Structure 1
Amino acid sequence: MARFYVGPDASCRRAAAAADVGGWFYRRTMTTTTPILNGPHLRRVRDDGYWRVTAPSGILLGYVEEVEVDGRPRYRATRLHPPLRLVGIGEFAALDEATECLR
């Protein structure tokens, strides 16, 4: 399927046609089977609700601690700033939210 584009020279037309590799059906139906592993990872440090949050590369991003406020579990996120300085980010209702804020 050749497409022709109006451009300053023939090389622009060839580049634009090469960019449309599979057509609209290919773009619509193409899916990936590889899992996307770009989010932060949790690792439990203590049994009483304390997690270490690391990047996929292994760099330590901070910690998440489970605290109880008014009988409900809350999750307190703390970011690690070098050298060994902990800065509180905030409290969240869900563990996933506390983890994502450290991304």
Structure 2
Amino acid sequence: MGKYTDAFRNYILAAVNNPSFPPKRGSVDHSTAGGKFLYNLFRAGEIHPIKGLLAEIVGNAIISHHSYLEDFLSPELESNYLKRVRDKRDKSLEEFERTHIY
């Protein structure tokens, strides 16, 4: 979903058209949208434990796909995963939802 936006398209076109001076790698967040989508789809309302856990595992894989799987647990039980998929505003997902029916 994050790759299906004007921002990511412009990022790729800039990289192709200016190979000597491409945009900064990672300057367009294309992974949060997928993680947020799964969180919103499977964690809203009454949570089915298996579906909620699976959504978090797959969401972690989406968010971490250019690096290693993140350890989102902490002794304080604060989750950076939840901060990212629940609290972070993501223009990519908003654009996708505004322009597509799913």
Shorter-normalised TM range? under 0.3
* Structure whose alpha-carbon radius of gyration is higher: 1
More helix by share: 2
Q: Which has more strand, going by share of residues?
A: 1
How does the TM-score come out when normalised to structure 2?
A: 0.23
